A and B are shown apart, each in its own frame.
Chain A
């Protein structure tokens, strides 16, 4: 499984093998760029190339706040 971060340009920012790393990286990016959570998404892509889940930047921030 791959976890790919995209931003509002529809371009890849970063990519990871582990969801935890993708979430942590995106949380760090959003922390450095306040009020940009809505601009990011993590796409979970399986080994067949299908997007099987998406994670919004806002949900990453929420999870960080309640962690």
Chain B
């Protein structure tokens, strides 16, 4: 299980290339309740993929602009979802990453927060549960 300390604006960042070694599920707010909904992949798009211009930190770090946020604790995502369903999503997706699917990750910003890079369809296919 990766244990690299995360801080804001680090001079360097450890990117883990084998997502299968993460060793625990990760969670993210999504806007659909059905894992088989084709629209689910849209909930796994980065700002870059959505063609949103980089803002602030994203101007300095393409890895932030091109990454997708996750938490390692469903309770944290659920709290955000309940407070801001429009912003974060109405539902919580549990994702279990595996090796050899072109997905990478890093521990970023705050403890429990991860940035993940990967094809949105691939990430959506790794959703094992969606809860409210």
Contact = CB atoms under 8 A, between A and B. Distances in A.
Contact of B57 (A2, A14, A39): A14
B113 A13 contact: no
Given A14-B55, A29-B56, A48 B111 contact: yes
B84 to A, nearest CB: 5
B87 A7 contact: yes
A9 B113 contact: no
Report the interface size class on chain B.
35 or more
Interface in A44-59: 45, 47-51, 54, 56
Interface of A: 2, 4, 6-17, 25, 29, 38-41, 43, 45, 47-51, 54, 56
16 contacts: A10-B30, A10-B87, A11-B68, A12-B67, A12-B69, A13-B56, A14-B56, A15-B9, A39-B87, A41-B84, A45-B76, A45-B109, A48-B111, A49-B72, A51-B80, A54-B79
Interface of B: 7-9, 28-30, 43, 45-47, 50, 52, 55-58, 64, 67-69, 71-73, 75-76, 79-80, 83-84, 86-89, 108-113, 115
